[in-house]
């Protein structure tokens, strides 16, 4: 669709004037980008509250903010933080004001959970956010219909289903597969999109569809309680395995890891993430009932949410932060530190803690993964501020 | 003004030689994820120059990609830093939608196309 024809000739001229002038054009974008900062801040607040809840779940002796702080750990991380950030990213891409309703609703919904308001308020807002998020994908699909957009939209649908199930009375452990579906399908859809540059063969697309289809079918079965739900988890696990294998085989990170700088950094994060997705797939496939034990539940979830998802977030931050906020986040070699800490701590948590039953290893590993996230935030903010000062000094 | 995807650049008169040089300079703008410049990726649909003013029509690999502002800012930065133009107009479009076939032959080979 032609941008000018969509907005009309006069709007087109106005837009050119806005972006064309040497000073005003940049100022225009600078004005837009900080307006997104409060939305991102909502996500970060949710992240910090979610991390606190995570520490409580690890059994550390810390004050409880609210009676629901620990229980809300998962929704705050998956929807409050990542839902806000991902929907903000899509709204920025689409460039329609209404698209920002999604991150706003997700962020405020998370705040409602943190504040301890009746759960229906927060979850209804999270549900509203998912609806707007899906509308964004609908518009993207109209502009440029493609399989990868459909996969990402399926991720958005998982977000919607998770909120509807919760509002319908399901517990967090029952909706967790859908939260994983939201993030896995969103990320894997993005990877499919980029993999096009390597000219995907029909067999590779078939392999992707098979894995994605199995994962989606498994998720659907988890909504049926009892034995069928266990089969659903196993089928979804097989789908995760297939998607991880697809990523290892076809993701362009295999090629871009040979390059340097931020490109290699991103590739490292991606490939490390696929390794954890394999672990998650195996765990889901073998377990069936994710609630069989605390250790199993911990491993099955955090292999996905920390190993796969957070590793991807770390990798994409140097690109997404400048794109969304208009601030520079130049890659620095020490970015590898928080990535290495995340993966090492997760190994300790899942292997020493969950698999071998060592509580200290579980707690130290768990706290280590949270430290990695906090370190990531601190390093990102410090690097962005330093880059800003450096640019101001040069000017 | 013609209501086509290239309408922005058609506002300006031809300036092919200079435009070609500036287009080469846009190879400084790298897609960080792919490690390839935006010209080789085929993300620059058109660039024209007239009266020390550059007009660029560019795209992203998908409308779901949030890098539009980043690419716009980088194109402006490179063009203005060149000293060849005083103003830079950048427009992001998805008409036509980008496809991998738009990449340069060299880039295709680098990604394993035979």
A351, A309 Cβ separation under 8 angstroms: no
Q: At what angle do helices A147-167 and A119-143 cross, to 10 degrees?
A: 160
The answer to whether residue A30 scores a pLDDT higher than 50 is no
Query: Cα(B110)–Cα(B106) distance, rounded to whole angstroms?
Result: 6
From A62-71, A113-122, A158-167, A372-381, the region with the lowest mean pLDDT: A62-71
The low-confidence residues of chain B, meaning pLDDT below 50, are: 1-15
* Chain B contact set for A254 (CB, 8 A): none
On average, the pLDDT of chain A sits at 89
The answer to whether residue A11 scores a pLDDT higher than 60 is no
Query: Cα(A90)–Cα(A351) distance, rounded to whole angstroms?
Result: 36
What CA dihedral angle connects A386, A388, A392 and A394, to 10 degrees?
70
The answer to whether residue A27 scores a pLDDT higher than 70 is no
Inter-chain touch B68–A152, beta carbons under 8 Å: no
* Chain A contact set for B43 (CB, 8 A): none
Average pLDDT over residues A269-287: 97
Q: At what angle do helices B68-81 and A82-94 cross, to 10 degrees?
A: 60
Q: What is the pLDDT of residue A122?
A: 97
Taking only the tens place, the pLDDT of each residue in A263-272 is 999 999 999 9
The answer to whether residue A300 scores a pLDDT higher than 90 is yes
CA nearest B94 in A: which residue? A1
Inter-chain touch B67–A16, beta carbons under 8 Å: no
Best mutation site among B32, B52, B100, B109 for testing chain A: the one with the most A CBs within 10 Å? B32
Give the pLDDT band of residue A395 (cuts 50, 70, 90).
low
As given in the structure block, the two tokens for residue A293 are 């034990």
> What is the DSSP code string of B59-96?
--SSTT-TTHHHHHHHHHHHHHHTTS-SEEEEEE--SS
- Give the DSSP H/E element, type plus range, for residue B53: strand B53-58
Give the pLDDT band of residue A32 (cuts 50, 70, 90).
low
The answer to whether residue A15 scores a pLDDT higher than 60 is no
CA nearest B107 in A: which residue? A197
* Chain B contact set for A320 (CB, 8 A): 66
* Chain A contact set for B76 (CB, 8 A): 19, 22, 25-26
The answer to whether residue A16 scores a pLDDT higher than 70 is no
Please tell me the distance in Å from A120's CA to the nearest CA on chain B: 30
The answer to whether residue A5 scores a pLDDT higher than 60 is no
Taking only the tens place, the pLDDT of each residue in A96-147 is 999 999 999 999 999 999 999 999 999 999 999 999 999 999 999 999 999 9
Helix count and strand count (H, E) for chain B:
4, 5
Give the pLDDT band of residue A59 (cuts 50, 70, 90).
very high
The answer to whether residue A41 scores a pLDDT higher than 60 is yes
As given in the structure block, the two tokens for residue B46 are 């058109």
Residues 6+ apart with CB under 8 A from B21: B84
Task: Provide the percentage of residues in chain A whose pLDDT is more than 70.
Answer: 91
Best mutation site among A2, A5, A146, A320 for testing chain B: the one with the most B CBs within 10 Å? A2
Assign B31 to helix, strand or coil: strand
The yes/no answer to whether this complex scores an ipTM above 0.85 is no
Q: What is the pLDDT of residue A324?
A: 86
Query: Cα(A351)–Cα(A283) distance, rounded to whole angstroms?
Result: 12
From A183-197, A313-327, A335-349, the region with the lowest mean pLDDT: A313-327
Question: CA of A133: how far to CAs of A100, A106, B22, in Å?
Answer: 9, 10, 38
Inter-chain touch A323–B8, beta carbons under 8 Å: no
> What is the DSSP code string of A328-389?
-----TTHHHHHHHHHHHHHIIIIIIIIT--HHHHHHHHHHHHHHHHHHHHHHHHHHHHHHH
């Amino acid at each position: 669709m032609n941008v000018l024809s969509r907005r009309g000739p006069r709007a087109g001229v106005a837009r050119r004037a806005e972006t064309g002038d040497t000073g005003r054009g940049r100022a225009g974008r600078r004005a837009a980008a900080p307006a997104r900062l409060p939305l991102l801040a909502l996500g970060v607040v949710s992240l910090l509250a979610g991390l606190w809840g995570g520490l409580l779940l690890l059994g550390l002796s810390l004050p409880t903010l609210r009676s629901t702080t620990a229980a809300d750990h998962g929704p705050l991380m998956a929807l409050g933080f990542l839902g806000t950030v991902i929907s903000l990213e899509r709204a920025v891409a689409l460039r329609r004001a209404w698209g920002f309703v999604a991150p706003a609703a997700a962020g405020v919904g998370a705040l409602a959970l943190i504040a301890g308001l009746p759960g229906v308020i927060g979850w209804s807002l999270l549900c509203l956010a998912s609806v707007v998020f899906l509308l964004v994908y609908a518009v993207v699909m109209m502009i440029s219909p493609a399989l990868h957009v459909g996969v990402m939209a399926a991720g958005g649908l998982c977000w919607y289903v998770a909120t509807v199930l919760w509002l319908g009375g399901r517990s967090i452990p029952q909706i967790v597969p859908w939260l994983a579906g939201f993030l896995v399908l969103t990320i894997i859809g993005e990877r499919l999109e980029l993999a096009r540059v390597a000219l995907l063969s029909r067999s590779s697309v078939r392999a992707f569809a098979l894995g994605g289809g199995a994962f989606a079918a498994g998720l659907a079965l988890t909504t049926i309680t009892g034995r069928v739900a266990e089969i659903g988890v196993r089928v979804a696990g097989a789908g995760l395995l297939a998607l991880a294998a697809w990523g290892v085989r076809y993701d362009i990170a295999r090629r871009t890891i040979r390059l340097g700088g931020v490109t290699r950094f991103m590739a490292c994060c991606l490939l490390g993430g696929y390794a954890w997705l394999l672990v998650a797939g195996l765990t889901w496939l073998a377990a069936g009932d994710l609630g069989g034990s605390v250790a199993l539940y911990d491993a099955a979830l955090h292999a996905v949410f920390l190993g796969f998802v957070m590793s991807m977030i770390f990798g994409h931050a140097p690109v997404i932060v400048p794109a969304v906020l208009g601030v520079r986040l130049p890659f620095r070699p020490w970015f590898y530190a928080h990535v290495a800490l995340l993966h090492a701590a997760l190994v300790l948590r899942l292997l020493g803690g969950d698999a071998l039953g060592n509580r200290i290893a579980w707690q130290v590993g768990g706290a280590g993964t949270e430290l990695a996230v906090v370190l990531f935030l601190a390093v990102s903010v410090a690097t962005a501020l330093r880059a800003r000062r450096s640019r101001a000094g040069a000017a | 003004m013609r209501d086509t995807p290239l309408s922005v650049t058609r506002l300006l008169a031809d300036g092919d030689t200079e435009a070609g040089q500036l287009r080469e300079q846009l190879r400084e703008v790298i897609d960080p994820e792919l490690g390839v410049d935006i010209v080789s990726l085929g993300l620059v649909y058109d660039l024209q120059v007239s009266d020390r003013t550059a007009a660029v029509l560019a795209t992203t690999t998908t409308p779901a990609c949030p890098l539009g502002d980043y690419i716009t800012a980088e194109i402006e930065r490179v063009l203005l830093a060149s000293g060849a133009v005083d103003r830079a107009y950048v427009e992001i479009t998805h008409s036509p939608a980008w496809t991998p076939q738009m990449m340069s032959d060299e880039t295709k080979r680098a990604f394993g196309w035979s």
